[in-house]
Amino acid sequence: MPELKSRRLPALGADVAVVTVGIGGNDAGWIDVIKACMIDAAAHPKPGPGRDATASWPMSSSGGCQSGRLRDAYTIIKRSAPQAKVIVVGCPAIFEDAYSSTFCASVGLLTRGARADLRKAAEQLDGEIGAIARDFGFRFVDPRRAFDDHRICGPKEDWIHGVTFGRGGEPVLSATTFHPNPSGQRGYADAIADANRDVFR
């Protein structure tokens, strides 16, 4: 979470009234998990649950490195803006649950089984973030319902980037892969405002 320390932390202070926080996925090795699932999907192209490609994710609800990093970040925020109402936002479900096809262009090689694995991993991360936020007395916003029908392969406009690659089309996953696009960012903002009407009137 270097950006928090280098760019965001200087903006905090005793006079700050509201802080919104959306961190965790990148530090939990999210891109590495996606790569593992894509490799597994390429080796097992037929639909079905297959091997759980997220089994080795280095994020543990029992206190792994992800938990420690979140607690460190939240401690810094609470110390730096002691009067602020801190609102932590979770992760939306990435793929449309009702999407029945075994292939979707936005997710490349990821079959239905691999997408299910990633959906479970995102739910695990969301639960972790929410539990730790509540430990600190922070508010937690679950954005999953706000993204209904707007997840990848959904019936309406996608609010999340599909598989995207690095500059020049190199076969390296871009940091935007499976992150909210501009419409998704607006969806996040609306979910935060709707859940905190006493703050955002």
Higher pLDDT, 92 or 64: 92
Residue 195 lies in a domain: no
Answer yes or no: is pLDDT of 46 > 70. Answer: no
In 3-state terms, what secondary structure has residue 100? coil
Cα 102 to Cα 16: distance, rounded to the nearest angstrom: 48
Over residues 28-40, mean pLDDT: 70
Q: Is residue 82, in this structure, part of any structural domain at all?
A: yes
| pLDDT for 140 | 96
Averaged pLDDT for residues 118-138: 87
Statement: residue 122 has pLDDT above 80: no
In-domain check, residue 193: no
Q: What is the pTM of this model?
A: 0.79
Residue at 13 is within a domain: no
Contacts of 41 (CB under 8 A, 6+ apart): 50, 53, 109, 110, 111, 113, 114
- Residue 22 belongs to a domain: yes
Q: What is the percent of the chain where pLDDT is above 70?
A: 69
Q: Which domain holds residue 107?
A: 18-144
Report the range of poorest mean pLDDT among 115-124, 139-148, 180-189. 115-124
Beta bridge pairs of residue 87: 20, 139
Per the CB < 8 A criterion, the answer to whether 39 and 127 are in contact is no
Q: Is residue 166 a part of any domain in this protein?
A: no
The pLDDT confidence band at residue 196, using thresholds 50, 70 and 90, is very high
Domain membership of residue 196 (yes or no) is: no
**Is there a contact between 145 and 90 (Cβ–Cβ < 8 Å)?**
no
In the predicted model, what is the mean pLDDT of residues 65-87? 89
Radius of gyration of the chain (CA): 18
Residue 85 has pLDDT above 90, yes or no: yes
User: 5 lies in a domain?
Assistant: no
Q: Are 86 and 73 in contact (CB under 8 A)?
A: no
State the pLDDT at residue 32: 72
For residue 112, is pLDDT > 60?
A: yes
Count of domains observed in the chain: 1
Residue 28 belongs to a domain with what CATH number?
Answer: 3.40.50.1110
